[in-house]
């Protein structure tokens, strides 16, 4: 059974960037762990991730306080060692929000050192700069779960939810679906395969392989 880690800065990020894929991979039998480095504003987070079939995890940082430090590196290294992920998802590599940027850089570095088989970067429409993708996943069957999950988050400011978070779910999934030829989609930048060693070997989901 393959192990997946979705590592994000804030509780809404993994749902926005990869909520459909979390649902899909969990449904396929992957052990899917979902981390929010910031543990504040987290009311409803565990319920939301469990609704998608994932295992919710969170650290004790608060919004805007994430720093690239030995402490963060150590916590992430311990988590990587504990779950031994085959596949990792994290933030895009150029982000307006510093929490996103630091989490992305740190996770990518640890994933490289840990020989993670596949690494993918997801988009957050409100903060990802010059995002581009080369992998798409049809999440049509899991879109309603993604919507339900984001609505379960009760710790986020209502204005932020209305202006930034909800449009990132409602509009982006449909727009990406139009681009790639399905109703709803999530898209990712493939960031290299370790096994086999390849910058362009994209095999996010192999329907013929056992998980």
- The CATH number of the domain holding residue 39 is 3.40.50.10320
Looking at the predicted structure, is the pLDDT value of residue 125 above 60?
yes
Rounded Cα–Cα distance for residues 203 and 200 (Å) = 9
Instruction: Determine, yes or no, domain membership for 32.
Output: yes
The closest of 1, 59, 8 to 32, measured between CA atoms, is 1
Looking at the predicted structure, is the pLDDT value of residue 206 above 60?
no
Instruction: Determine, yes or no, domain membership for 75.
Output: yes
Q: For 195-203, what is the mean pLDDT?
A: 60
Tell me the residue range of the domain where 29 lies. Answer: 3-198
DSSP letter string, 72-118? HHHHHHHHHHHH--SEEEEE-SSBSSHHHHHHHHHHHHHHHHTT-SE
Looking at the predicted structure, is the pLDDT value of residue 111 above 70?
yes
Instruction: Determine, yes or no, domain membership for 204.
Output: no
Predicted TM-score (pTM) of this structure: 0.92
Instruction: Determine, yes or no, domain membership for 209.
Output: no
Q: For 113-124, what is the mean pLDDT?
A: 93
Q: For 175-182, what is the mean pLDDT?
A: 95
Instruction: Count up the domains in the chain and report the number.
Output: 1
Give the pLDDT band of residue 208 (cuts 50, 70, 90): very low
Instruction: Determine, yes or no, domain membership for 211.
Output: no
Mean pLDDT, all residues of the chain: 92
Instruction: Determine, yes or no, domain membership for 187.
Output: yes
pLDDT, residue 1, reads 85
Instruction: Determine, yes or no, domain membership for 210.
Output: no
Which of 80-89, 109-118, 139-148 is least confident?
A: 109-118
Looking at the predicted structure, is the pLDDT value of residue 55 above 70?
yes
């Amino acid at each position: 059974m393959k192990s997946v880690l979705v590592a994000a800065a804030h509780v809404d990020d993994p749902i926005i960037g990869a909520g459909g894929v979390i649902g899909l991979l969990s449904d396929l039998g992957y052990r899917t762990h979902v981390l929010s480095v910031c543990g504040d504003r987290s009311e409803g987070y565990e319920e939301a991730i469990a609704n998608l079939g994932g295992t919710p995890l969170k650290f004790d940082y608060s919004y805007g306080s994430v720093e690239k430090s030995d402490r963060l590196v150590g916590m992430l290294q311990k988590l990587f060692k504990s779950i031994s992920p085959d596949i990792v998802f994290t933030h895009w590599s150029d982000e307006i929000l510093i929490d996103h940027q630091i989490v992305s850089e740190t996770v990518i570095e640890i994933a490289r050192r840990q020989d993670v088989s596949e690494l993918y970067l997801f988009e957050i429409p409100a903060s990802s700069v010059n995002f581009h993708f080369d992998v798409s996943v049809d999440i049509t069957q899991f879109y309603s779960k993604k919507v339900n999950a984001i609505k379960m988050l009760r710790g986020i400011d209502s204005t932020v939810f209305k202006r930034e978070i909800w449009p990132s779910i409602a509009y982006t999934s449909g727009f990406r679906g139009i681009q790639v030829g399905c109703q709803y989609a999530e898209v990712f930048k493939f960031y290299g395969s370790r096994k086999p060693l390849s910058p362009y070997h994209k095999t996010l989901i192999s329907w013929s392989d056992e998980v």
